A and B are shown apart, each in its own frame.
Chain A
Amino acid sequence: MIRAEGASLIYHDHGREVAACRDIHLTVRPGEFLGILGPSGSGKSSLLYLLCGLKIPTHGRVLFDGRDLAAMADDERSRLRLGEFGFVFQQPYLVGYLSALENVLTAGGGRTDPDHALGLLDRLGLAEKAHRLPHELSGGERQRVCVARALYGRPRVVFADEPTAALDRRNGEQVVRLMNECRDGGALVMVTHDEHMLEEADRIVRLDDGEILSVEPREGRWREAGISNGIFREPDPLR
């Protein structure tokens, strides 16, 4: 569905070249939960922006359904984001003078469908608070409104960039769980530096210094974890 072919993103920072992403080869498959894991500054966000067309690669290309994102006009990429993608950002950004419900309605390229939006808010446990303004909601509630907004247009891919970073552990896990449950067949690409948040991921991309270290299926990870647990148990000096 989305395919990066040797995509690189180089920033010019005061005359110095910073390679945020280097020679990325990656495919996002329909309906999968793809985790992108890496330390801060490793280029996770940059990769996400490349995949969703908010940034254009300086080398290589990114294709959506076989179409090169870089070849599209700015407006066309915008319409693609509105119609096919959903977004959850690190900060729970909402429009301050719009209610939770209205904020959800700002997304999606189709016709306004308040019932669908209310249904999503209900599934996210916000039925009672649909008409509150953002400042009347807690951080976790706000991020759940953002999740509802990301899902409202029935996107084919939801992009989430550290959606849990501004939340405590409990709220963070809840947001990820709900995002995963409510995506109704859409793919989920989630960036995080916290491996715990990726327990339900199908595949995990490990990133460091702008380069992909590994792309592992989660099943494999479980097996690895089992093995490493075994390895751990044996040489434990306290036993």
Chain B
Amino acid sequence: MPSFRKRLPRPLSPITYLVRNPGKTVPLTAVILLAVLLIAGVVAIMDSIPYSIRTIYGYSRLLLFAGPRGESQLTQEIVERFQRQKEVPVERIAVVRAAPTVVRSIVGKWPFAIIGFEQKDLAYALGRMGTRRLEGRLPKQGMAEAVVSEPVARNRGLKIGSVLMSPDDTDNFSPFPVKVVGIAQSDEWFMFADKDYIRGNHFPPIDVVLAFAPTLEDQVRLGAWARSEFKGERVQLLSFYEVERDAKEMFRILYAILNVVIGILVSVIALMVAMLMNIHQGQRLVEFGLLQALGHTRRRLLARSLTEASLLVVVGWILGVALSFGLLATFKAILLDPQAFAMQLWNPQAMAYTVAVPAVVLLVACGTVVWRFRRFDPVGIVERRLV
């Protein structure tokens, strides 16, 4: 029986006003939507820079660099001290040589190391980097050959047979053209070569120790052990800890600036939207006065206005988040992925920034509504003394 009954009209439901006045509600929703889009976009792209650092140098989670500083003889001692310690298990110690190259990022070229492994360590290193499959083969001893991971290949536009480093490439210099002979299917970024080739053709002439712990937790503990063990000595350490620390420091000021800019943006937009809402509220004084005179309580009218404002703002925000997500996904797929530029699609920080817009709009809008209702005489309206 109830299913046959027509739905009762609800003239004073907040939805009714919002739906019947698209000329007023749609532009407001659109402004909030665009603001959310703008802020989410800016923050997502900004965040992609430190995120790129973490992605590109992410392989440092899986190993610990320990190189002598200004005293190349120290390498053997470093190896021995790693072997002697009993605090953290060490799965393997490799003595390698490294040479500078670059990768491309969204903000230009970044330095990247090509690491020359001894033949006995190469397969282990590849496995350590989570290689699922190797296309091609490993570099041969003493040859100008390299194996790169899939993201590096995408980033530098490399295929098997491409030249990774060459005499006429100042960013990626090597006295002989170094050819890519293998592409490792892995999510990490890395370039590996044969140690003898790097030793024979590249500076710096230093053997660096790479220490591998069996698990990721052990790797973190190994880093902590090394930092205290070699404190104040001529040993340079590099692990994800240092990458993180430097990235944070590098972006501290940038984020401070970003916060100010977004703060101003949020204020301007919120003020604008709240002003528009205020004007719309003002145009409805007759409605409010009339309904109050008819006997609707101030509280009920206030609740209705606040619900309307909240719905508008929340719908605008949800649409804005959905649209940002869609546009960023498209942007990433079309422009970033082909070059392996990293960006987090689901970025909680960007979302947190966008919440400021609806929050401030709601606060200001509700504030003005409450203020308006506080001293409001319906008689003045129906008597036409106001309006």
A49, A89, A107, most chain B CB atoms within 10 A: A89
Q: Mark A72-90, 1 if CB is under 8 A from B, else 0.
A: 0011001111110101011
| B residues 1-28 in Cβ contact with A at 8 Å | 8-12, 16-17, 20-21
Query: Using a CB-CB cutoff of 8 Å, which residues 199-216 of chain A contact chain B?
Result: none
Distance in angstroms between the alpha carbons of A18 and B9 in the assembled complex: 44
User: Is B9 in contact with A54, judged by CB distance below 8 angstroms?
Assistant: no
Q: Which of A79, A97, A103 contacts B20 (CB 8 A)?
A: A97
Decide: A81 and B298 in contact? CB cutoff 8 A. no
Most chain A beta-carbon contacts within 10 A, residue among B16, B17, B290, B298: B290
Q: Which 5 A-B pairs give the minimum distances between C-beta atoms? A: A82-B295, A81-B295, A102-B11, A97-B20, A78-B297
Chain B, residue nearest A109 (CB): B295
Interface segment, one of B86-94, B121-129, B179-187, B378-386: B378-386
Which residues of B (361-387) have their CB < 8 Å from a CB of A? 378-379, 382-384
Evaluate contact between B11 and A54: CB separation under 8 angstroms. Answer: no
* With known contacts A93-B290, A95-B287, A98-B16, A114–B295 Cβ distance under 8 A: no
Across the interface, which residues of B come within 8 angstroms of A90, CB to CB? 382-384
CA distance A103 to B286 in the complex (A): 14
Q: In the complex, A204 Cα to B347 Cα: how many Å?
A: 74
Answer yes or no: A174 CB below 8 A from chain B CBs.
no
Pair B11/A79 contact, Cβ less than 8 Å: no
CB nearest neighbor in A for B298: A74
Chain A nearest CB from B76 CB (Å) reads 85
13 contacts across the A-B interface (CB closer than 8 A): A54-B293, A74-B298, A78-B297, A78-B298, A81-B293, A85-B295, A93-B382, A97-B17, A102-B9, A103-B11, A106-B296, A107-B294, A149-B294
Q: Which residues, 37 to 96 on A, are CB-close (under 8 Å) to B?
A: 45, 49, 54-55, 74-75, 78-83, 85, 87, 89-91, 93, 95-96
- The answer to whether A114 and B9 have CB atoms under 8 Å apart is yes
Q: What total of A-B pairs shows CB separation below 8 Å?
A: 75
**CA separation between A89 and B11, bound complex, in Å?**
20
Q: Does B299 have its Cβ within 8 Å of any Cβ on chain A?
A: yes
A95 CA / B290 CA spacing, docked (Å): 8
B247 at the interface (CB under 8 A from A): no
Flag whether A228 is at the interface (Cβ < 8 A).
Answer: no
- State which of A89, A97, A102, A114 has its C-beta within 8 Å of the C-beta of B382: A89
**A189 an interface residue at 8 Å Cβ cutoff?**
no
A102 to B8, CA, bound (A): 10
- A78 with B292: CB separation less than 8 A: yes
Nearest CB in chain B: distance from A102 CB, A: 4
CA distance A23 to B292 in the complex (A): 27
CB-CB under 8 A for A82 and B294, given A55-B379, A95-B11, A105-B11? yes
The proximity string for B residues 210-234 relative to A, scoring 1 for CB distances below 8 Å and 0 otherwise, is 0000000000000000000000000
For residue B291, CB closer than 8 A to chain A, the reply is yes
Interface size classification for chain B = 20 to 34
Interface residues of B (CB under 8 A from A): 8-12, 16-17, 20-21, 286-287, 290-299, 378-379, 382-384
Shortest distance in angstroms between A211's beta carbon and chain B's nearest beta carbon?
A: 21
> How many Å from the CB of A40 to the closest CB on chain B?
13
Considering the chains assembled together, what is the distance between the CA atoms of A55 and B383 in angstroms? Answer: 13
What chain B residues lie within 8 Å of A85 (beta carbons)? 295
Q: Which residues of chain B are near A149, meaning CB under 8 Å?
A: 294
A81 touching B11 by the CB < 8 A rule? no
Smallest CB gap from A105: residue in B = B11
Chain A residues with Cβ below 8 Å from B292 are: 78
Known contacts: A78-B295, A78-B297, A107-B294. The answer to whether A98 contacts B382 by CB under 8 A is: no
Residue of B nearest to A153 (CB): B295
The docked-state distance in angstroms from the alpha carbon of A82 to that of B16 is 21
Cβ–Cβ contact A87 & B8, under 8 A:
no
When the two chains form their complex, are residues A79 and B297 in contact, meaning their CB atoms are under 8 A apart?
yes
Complex Cα spacing A102 to B294, Å: 14
CB of A146 to closest CB in B, whole Å = 10
Residues in A with CB closer than 8 Å to B20 are 97-98
Chain B's closest residue to A46 (CB) is B379
**Min C-beta distance of B41 to chain A, whole Å:** 35
| Chain A residues closer than 8 Å to B384, beta-carbon distance | 90-91
A93 touching B286, Cβ below 8 Å: yes
Give 13 new A-B contacts, CB below 8 A, not counting A78-B295, A87-B293, A90-B383.
Answer: A54-B293, A78-B292, A85-B295, A89-B290, A89-B293, A89-B382, A91-B382, A97-B17, A102-B16, A105-B9, A112-B8, A112-B9, A114-B9
Q: Using Cβ atoms and an 8 Å threshold, which residues of chain A touch B11?
A: 95, 98, 102-103, 105-106
Give, as a whole number of angstroms, the nearest-CB distance from A62 to chain B.
15
Taking a contact as CB atoms closer than 8 A, the residue among A82, A97, A107, A114 that contacts B21 in the complex is A97
